Amino acid sequence: MMPLKPTHALLAMPRTVCCGALATLALAGGLLAGCESSSPATVITTPAERADAAPAQTDEFAKLGYRLEWRAFPTMLPGETVERLNLFGDVLAAQESAGVVSVIETRSGQVRWSEQVAGRLTNFVGINRDEKTPDRLIVSSETEAYFYDISTGNLKARQKFAQIVSSSPVQVGDILVYGCLNGQVLGHLMLNGFRQWGAGLTGTISTSPLEMPSGRVAVVSSTGDFAIIDGATGLSQGRARMFAGPAAGVEMATNGAVTVIASQDQSLYAFGGDIASPMWRKRTDAPLKFSPVIHDGRVYCDLGADGLTCLEAASGKPIWNNAKVSGSVVGVRNKKLVVFNGSIAWTLDIAKGAIIDQVELKNVSMLKPDTFVDGNLYVAAPSGIITKFSPR
């Protein structure tokens, strides 16, 4: 299986659905060849055309405290968008909606390799770098895990799951812990590809599990079932119940001592330690739509009509709120909070929540820092551009 090499030529290819279980693309003579297709050829824009369609907005990011370092162009099939962006230190992995994964060097922006992992209709749930074997990239679909050499893109192994998974995994030793459509939690042993253990919640699990201290894992379901599970054995360490779980795409936050969940039952919940003990609940006027963040003993979360709200992590006591600001906290830059809601980004006074700057960001789907405080900022454009901004 040959990795797809990056190119700056104008590419043309049919929209393909390959006939094998694994759809592999090979680049030759400026053309992207796939299996047979009856659909007409579609022009894939060059990097220059992609860049023109989605300007870097250097002035706007300068107001947020960042300067442009590079722009990268992961491989994109016609009509697809960037769906996933994961940072792994010296490399990042971008996956588009047809399943093509591109590994990009964070120092230079060079595309190291690209690969279409499986057919276009395959549902993927996450990308991880193996914590015990860092030269392996793990790409998870809902039915199996694919293990790639992170340097070359060579496929090293494939392992089928004992059941259909529906969340990205967290790794505990040699075990990948997934949430499943049927409410089960799956402990998948990478050493042999078999199920190591299973645990049961109600509803479905699409929110990513969180690793807790001492190898424990926090999981939450769509119906509000919350559990702390031993990642090695699958044994329950504590359970709690809410009236509903997080909305799709809303993730939990933890600092090890406190785990915070933004629920669809119009509440923000906090649970203590690694035994799921209830700590506090903040009621809101509507179901919560954005993920909370915990930093330096404080919780930041968009609470609907109250806007972005800062609370004490230990007690839930409100410190400040700003009804004019919505979204999730991305990070801290130069002692200011950076907040993004999908179209508008703000910098706020971290002590009082007052707006310092506000900018409109166009053609931006994701902002991800490599370090929460004064880190590099990676920006994904849906059309297929990854931009690195560094602190200025």
- Identify which has the larger pLDDT, 50 or 101: 101
Token pair listed for 364: 């931006």
The pLDDT tens digits for 100-139 are: 999 999 999 999 999 999 999 999 999 999 999 999 999 9
Token pair listed for 12: 């043309």
What is the C-alpha to C-alpha distance for residues 345 and 367, in angstroms, rounded to an integer?
10
Q: Is the pTM of this model over 0.85?
A: yes
Residue 35 has pLDDT above 90, yes or no: no
The average pLDDT across 10-18 equals 31
Task: Determine what percent of the chain falls in helix, strand and coil, rounding each to the nearest 5.
Answer: 5, 50, 45
The average pLDDT across 45-62 equals 89
**H or E stretch at 343:** none
The predicted pLDDT at position 44 comes to 53
Token pair listed for 14: 């049919």
The pLDDT tens digits for 277-315 are: 999 999 999 999 999 999 999 999 999 999 999 999 999
- Alpha-carbon dihedral angle through residues 296, 301, 307, 310, given to the nearest 10 degrees: -30
The predicted pLDDT at position 236 comes to 95
Residue 23: pLDDT band with limits 50, 70, 90: very low
* Residues whose CB falls within 8 Å of the CB of residue 250, separated by 6 or more in sequence, listed in order: 207, 262, 288, 289, 290, 291
The pLDDT tens digits for 144-159 are: 999 999 999 999 999 9
The predicted pLDDT at position 53 comes to 83
Residue 8 has pLDDT above 60, yes or no: no
- Identify which has the larger pLDDT, 184 or 34: 184
